[in-house]
Structure formats: C-alpha cells, structure tokens
A and B are shown apart, each in its own frame.
Chain A
Amino acid sequence: MSNRDRIFRAYLDDQRQSLQAPLASVQAFTESLLEQDAISQSSELKADVKKIAKAAVTMTEMLASISGFAQDSQTELSRLRHDLRNAIGLVDGYGDMLLEDCDDEVAGDYIRQIRHQSRLFQGRLEQFNLGDDGKVASDPIAAIFKSFKRGIIRDDREHMAASILVVDDNDSSRDLLAHQLQRQNYMVIEAASGARCLEIMRSAEPDLVLLDLVMPDMNGYEVLQVIRADEALRRIPVVVVSGMQDEEGAVRCIDAGASDYLLKPVNGTLLRARIGASLEAKRWRDREREYLAELEKSQRFIRKIFGRYLSDEIVQRLLDDNDGLQLGGELRQVTILMADIRGFSALSQQLAPEQCVQLLNNYFAAMTEVIQRFRGTVDEFVGDGILVIFGAPLSDSDDCDRALACAVAMQLAVETVNERNRADNLPEITIGIGLNTGDVVAGNIGSELRSKYGVVGHNVNLTGRIESCTVGGQILAAPATIAASTVQVLAGRRISVSLKGMGDAVMLTEVLGVGIPYDLLLESAPEEWQSYKENISLTLSVMAGKKNGAKQFKVEVCARAGESLRVVSAEVLPVLADVSIEGFEVACYAKITEQLSGREYVLTLTSANTQLRSLLQMNSSRGR
C-alpha cells in the first residue's frame, strides 16, 4: 500500500468512525428510552423509538461502505449521502413526534439528546469529502485519531466512545475482533505487530489494548514488558487475548502487567464485560490522575506567583486552605513594616550602577530571608525600600509580635550584609525601620494583565512617614503597634512627632528589643559622648523632600558618640528634619534626631563622605 493510500484509508476510517459515533449515541439513547416507563408502557411510543434505533443501525451499516471508497468514488459518496440524509430524517421526524407525544421529563431529555446527536451527524455528513486527504498530517493515523478524539470530547463529552487498539498479526482474527468491537460502538484501531502496537499506543493513546500473545518479531509478553517499563504506556489497560488454553500463561500475563486475560475464540458477552470493567477502572484512574495533575498545576502556579512575596509556610497554608485563594479585596488589621537604607540616594551616586545593584541584592537577599523566617509577606521592593505585611493574606494572633521581632532581626542582619559588602568592596549600610498597625485593604490589586497581592490605605502611608523619622539602626513603632503587641518590647526613647495627615502629635516608640520567645536585642549599646576640644562649625541646609531647601543653619559640633553629633545652634532647629551638611565635594546628609536642651541638639549622620569623617575623626582623637 502506498503512503498516499495509507493516509487515505486512515482518513476514511476516521470519517467513518466520526459519523458512526453519534449514531452509536443515538442507539444508546433509544435503549435508555425503552427502559423508561413512559415509553415502555405505550406500544405506539415504543414502536417509534424502535424505528429511530433501526434507522441508526441502518445508517451505521451503510457507513461501512466508506472503507471501500477510492478517491474517485464521488458517485458512491453521493449515493451514500443521499441514503443517509433520508435515514437521518427518520431520526429527526420520529424524535419530534415523540417529543410531542411524551410529556415525561426524563424521556424528553433523552429524545433531545437524540436530536442533538442527529444534528452532530448531519454536520459531519456535510463536511465529509473525499478530497480532504491533503489536510492529513504526516503520521496520519495518530493525527487523525487524536483530532477525532478531541472532536468527540468537544461534541459530546458524556458519550465519548472508548477507543480500542486491537493487536493481532493474523488478519482474520484481528478483523473479527475489530468487527465485534465496532458493533459494540467502540472506536477501533488495528495493529498487525507488537512494534506497531507500541507506536500507536504512544501516538494515539487508545483507551484499551487487546493484545494477541503469539506474534512474530515481538510477542505479546515482550510488548507487555515494554509497556510496563514506560510510565505513559502503563496507564493504558491491556487485555491479553490468547489461543493458548493454559492457566499458567494467564498468570504470566497478569504478572507482566496485563489487566485481564481472554481466550480465543472470544465470546462476545465476555469480551464486552471484560472491556467494560477494564475501561471503568481506567476511567477512575484517569480521573484521579487528571485531578492530581490539575491540583499540582495550580499549586505550581501559586508557588510561582506568591513564592517571591510570601514565606513558604504561608504559601503552604494558602494551598491547604480552600478559601485561602480567594484573595479579593478585604479590610484587614495588619502590622506594616517599612525598611529603608539610610542615605541610599547619596550612596548610590557614589556607586557604579552594577555596584548599586549588587549592594541592593546583598541587602534584599539577607532581608528576605529574615522576613520569611518571621512569616512576613513582602509586599513590595521599591528602590531600596521594603514593604512587609504581617497579617495578610493570612492573619494570626501574633502578627504584631512577629513584625516587631522581624524588625529587630532585620537590624541585626544588617551586620551580615555589611560583612558581605566589605568583602565585595562596597560601602556599609544602615537601615531605618518604621512599624505601624491598623486596618488596610488587602487584595489582588492591578489590572487583569498585571496584578499582585498588596495592601493599600492610610495606614500604609503613615508607616512610610514613621519610617522616614528613623536614623540608621533605628526602629520606630506607632502607638497602635505597641498597643497590639503581646510580646515584651524593650523601649528606648519616646519621640513625639507631627506627621502629615495625622493631626495631633504622635508618640513613636524606639524599639530596642523584643522578649521571649524571640529574645532579640539590638547590640548598639549607646556610645559615650566624646567632647571635642575645639568645636567644629557646620552649615546645615534643611531639605524639603530630597532637594536642598533654602533654609540654612550654622551649628557648632561639640561632642560625638558613634554617628551622633551633639550640636549647639543659635536658632531653633526642626527636630526630625533631614539636613544636608554643606561645604563638601560629595553631599553629606544627617537628621536632627533629638533636642537635648534649649540650644543643644543631636545630629545623626546618615551619609558622610571621607572628607567629613576625617574632619570629625581628627578632632575626636584630639578630644581623648
């Protein structure tokens, strides 16, 4: 047989099967109809149902002639089409009359199903064309078969005919089996050798294989062994059909992975029963596998989407909890943590872009690890800033405590980051952290194309403002956070600030540590003030936003403790204002952190260049 002929044969078989499938469904529905009391108790209705069944059988038989068509069988096709149109009209006509005569609901449904199958059939009949072979793909049987199966699934999922691969080297016994199966409305494909069997199993994925044992080249046992070793093939049940009447052979087959064993000549009823049982078992396994695959797919998706933002534990809990995935907008009480590298803008100006990225990556890697440990949700990385939520998407009674502990742990982790930075020849950093607790709207925010889980609301903005009051190494918490905490908080100074949009002054608490079970303490034992013998004069410009403002102050530095400078000013200085220190080649920044007494203030450096540092150092050493 030439390749072209093979393709054409396969095409015809496919067309025949696709036309026979709706007819098989029609027949099945007529059988169900006859079991309905509304039908079986009326001889007229029963007779009409039987006429539908008869028409379906007649058409199925007519369709057998397709297999004998040649590419120029236009006349035969025209004749067949004519006869089929006549016959399908009977299905429609009797169906319509039954619908008029029978007001039983269940029976009505069956009849409508019959009408549906009839439309399906008519559509396919009109499509059927002998000239269509050009479309057939290179592995015709597999391609056609697959597309056919898809078509069936689309059209009438519930009545999909199972596909059975019949493997036998003997043409007549293969034909006999194929014929028996076709009569039972299975879709049948045939293979004449073990090798072809495996090929078709891989490409067309039949629902069941009927396998002959005695074949040349590759016998049934060998086929079974290959199937058993292949995970994809193992899913397809194999029923062995053998002429050998021995129990031992049956046992051997079952051992080799066969689902069942039938003896030749095959009894039709037995065949039907065994196939039915094997298919049923496969359907359940398939369903289970599909379900698991679906589950795994969605879990992979969730991990991928949320993994970057949520701790593993929260992802797992979301997956375990059925309702956890409904991340729509909702009002939630959360504790918000915002961290920022102090003086990062100035720092970044001194660094090459790739150094800047490396610095941020060192920093984010260390911080993400800490945040995950305390089950925080990283909502956003903005520039050098991190926004972390505790209490969404899942809330816990210790959200606030974990946030406080996380803040302290983050400050402690900065030292690790700096070790790394020193090794990478990058500048050291300090971070400030603001904490706030309150209601936010949490949910998937964004458009359909791009959305992420996040929080919005006044309390988020407020956290940002609290954070901007910090200096390097400092944690400031809102009163709500302190009130909501159940863990012991080691509080440092209390700082009263007026925050934009907050009306009255807010009393922020400096957090120095959290108690059991976290037991974390900031190590920064306050350094001793060291006085300068000679004051150092500095000019400060109050910054509005991040641009240098107009207002300037002259201050005298009289003592130093670490990054803090004690300064005396003739004028009143704005507490918590960010200032730039004038007169240096590279910009230096500081924050006015505290008013000590009338004219004495504490100025904390957030970004100092070497020029300023050496100036302060020289003077400092003179002070010892």
Chain B
Amino acid sequence: MQTILLVEDNEMNRDMLSRRLKRKGYEVVLAVDGQQGIDMCLQNPPALMLLDMSLPVKDGWQVAREMKATPALQHIPIIALTAHAMADDRQRALLAGCDDYDTKPVDLPRLLGKIAHLLGAAE
C-alpha cells in the first residue's frame, strides 16, 4: 500500500481528504504544518506529498522549494493544492518545484488521476 503524506492545517479538511484517500486504497499520514511535513518526509519518506499551499508559518511554496532542494526528498512527487484560483497559481506551484497542481474544492476523481499518474511515473 502506498503512503501519501497530506500536509493540511485545517482539521476538517485533513479528516475529510485523508478518509477519502484511505477509501481509495492509500495509506495516509498527516502533517498539520509545513515544517512537520518536511520532518516526516525525512524520517519516513512517503510515496507522494499532497501539499496545501496556504499553510501558516511556512507556506506551501516554501515547503516545495525546500523539498526539491533536499537531495533525500527531491524524488518525492508533490501535488500542490490551493483554494486560490489565480491564473498564475499553477505556474507558481510548478516553479516552486511541485510536480502537479490541483484546486480546491477537490474534485476527487481528478485528483486521484493525478496521484496515480505521478505514482506510476515514480515507479
């Protein structure tokens, strides 16, 4: 079973999205802020990171840049999740090093497609 790390500060969103992913057969571990997300990756690298971009203290853009700058972590695919829908959000996320990008509210089938695609490519 592949592990997805969900980095999300909102408790309800965390609960909801993690449960939905578990139902689809993924193991889901949770981080409540960016730093915790990076730390967990270092301890036990997940197969993929779902990263909310608007996190307190250390935001998603920063987390993505650090991950991709760390040799031990740069192979972990990151999907940026954002509730902003600015035209350049996607561009910014990809520039920060994210491998893909999706908007909130989450369209689960679409997100699952992106996850499967990245996990397939990582194998």
Question: What chain A residues lie within 8 Å of B104 (beta carbons)?
Answer: 85-86, 89
- A401, CB-defined interface residue at 8 Å: no
- B17, CB-defined interface residue at 8 Å: yes
- A90, CB-defined interface residue at 8 Å: yes
Contact A89 B105 (CB under 8 A): yes
Within 8 A of B (CB), among A74-93: 78, 81-86, 88-90, 92-93
Known contacts A55-B12, A93-B106: does B23 contact A86 (CB below 8 Å)? no
- B75, CB-defined interface residue at 8 Å: no
Q: What number of A-B contacts does a CB cutoff of 8 Å give?
A: 51
* A92 to B84 CA separation, bound complex (whole angstroms): 18
Contact A88 B23 (CB under 8 A): no
Q: Which residue, A51, A83, A85, has most C-beta atoms of chain B within 10 A?
A: A85
Within 8 A of B (CB), among A82-131: 82-86, 88-90, 92-94, 96-97, 100, 122
* A92 to B111 CA separation, bound complex (whole angstroms): 14
Closest B-chain residue to A92, C-beta based? Answer: B105
Known contacts A83-B83, A122-B105: does B23 contact A89 (CB below 8 Å)? no
Closest B-chain residue to A100, C-beta based? Answer: B23
Contact A85 B105 (CB under 8 A): yes
Question: What chain A residues lie within 8 Å of B70 (beta carbons)?
Answer: none
Which of these, B15, B83, B85, contacts A86 with CB under 8 Å? Answer: B83
Closest B-chain residue to A122, C-beta based? Answer: B105
- How many A residues touch B, CB cutoff 8 Å? 20
CB-defined interface of B6-26 with A at 8 Å, one 1/0 digit per residue? 000010110111011001000
- What is the interface residue range for chain B against chain A? 10 to 19
CB-defined interface of B61-82 with A at 8 Å, one 1/0 digit per residue? 0000000000000000000000
Question: What chain A residues lie within 8 Å of B15 (beta carbons)?
Answer: 51
- B108, CB-defined interface residue at 8 Å: yes
Question: What chain B residues lie within 8 Å of A85 (beta carbons)?
Answer: 83, 85, 103-105
Contact A82 B84 (CB under 8 A): yes
Contact A93 B20 (CB under 8 A): yes
* A54 to B83 CA separation, bound complex (whole angstroms): 19
Question: What chain B residues lie within 8 Å of A54 (beta carbons)?
Answer: 12
- B35, CB-defined interface residue at 8 Å: no
Contact B105 A51 (CB under 8 A): no
- B54, CB-defined interface residue at 8 Å: yes
CB-defined interface of A41-56 with B at 8 Å, one 1/0 digit per residue? 0000000000100110
Contact B19 A97 (CB under 8 A): yes
Within 8 A of A (CB), among B84-121: 84-85, 103-106, 108
Contact A93 B54 (CB under 8 A): no
Contact B13 A89 (CB under 8 A): yes
Within 8 A of A (CB), among B7-56: 10, 12-13, 15-17, 19-20, 23, 54
* A82 to B10 CA separation, bound complex (whole angstroms): 13
Contact B106 A81 (CB under 8 A): no
* A51 to B19 CA separation, bound complex (whole angstroms): 14
Question: What chain A residues lie within 8 Å of B23 (beta carbons)?
Answer: 97, 100
Contact A93 B83 (CB under 8 A): no
Question: What chain A residues lie within 8 Å of B108 (beta carbons)?
Answer: 93, 96
* A93 to B108 CA separation, bound complex (whole angstroms): 8
Which of these, A94, A100, A122, contacts B16 with CB under 8 Å? Answer: A94
Which of these, B16, B19, B54, B84, contacts A89 with CB under 8 Å? Answer: B16
Nearest CB of A to B5, in Å: 18
Closest A-chain residue to B107, C-beta based? Answer: A92
Question: What chain B residues lie within 8 Å of A96 (beta carbons)?
Answer: 20, 108
Nearest CB of B to A280, in Å: 36
Closest A-chain residue to B54, C-beta based? Answer: A82
Contact B54 A51 (CB under 8 A): no
Q: Which residue, A96, A100, A122, has most C-beta atoms of chain B within 10 A?
A: A96
Nearest CB of B to A62, in Å: 12
Nearest CB of B to A182, in Å: 24
Contact B20 A97 (CB under 8 A): yes
The 8 closest A-B pairs by CB, nearest first: A89-B105, A85-B83, A93-B16, A82-B83, A85-B104, A86-B83, A89-B104, A88-B105
List residues of B whose CB falls within 8 A of some A CB: 10, 12-13, 15-17, 19-20, 23, 54, 83-85, 103-106, 108
List residues of A whose CB falls within 8 A of some B CB: 51, 54-55, 78, 81-86, 88-90, 92-94, 96-97, 100, 122
Other CB < 8 Å A-B pairs besides A54-B12, A86-B13, A89-B106, 11 of them? Answer: A51-B16, A78-B84, A83-B83, A85-B104, A86-B83, A89-B16, A89-B83, A89-B105, A92-B106, A93-B17, A93-B105
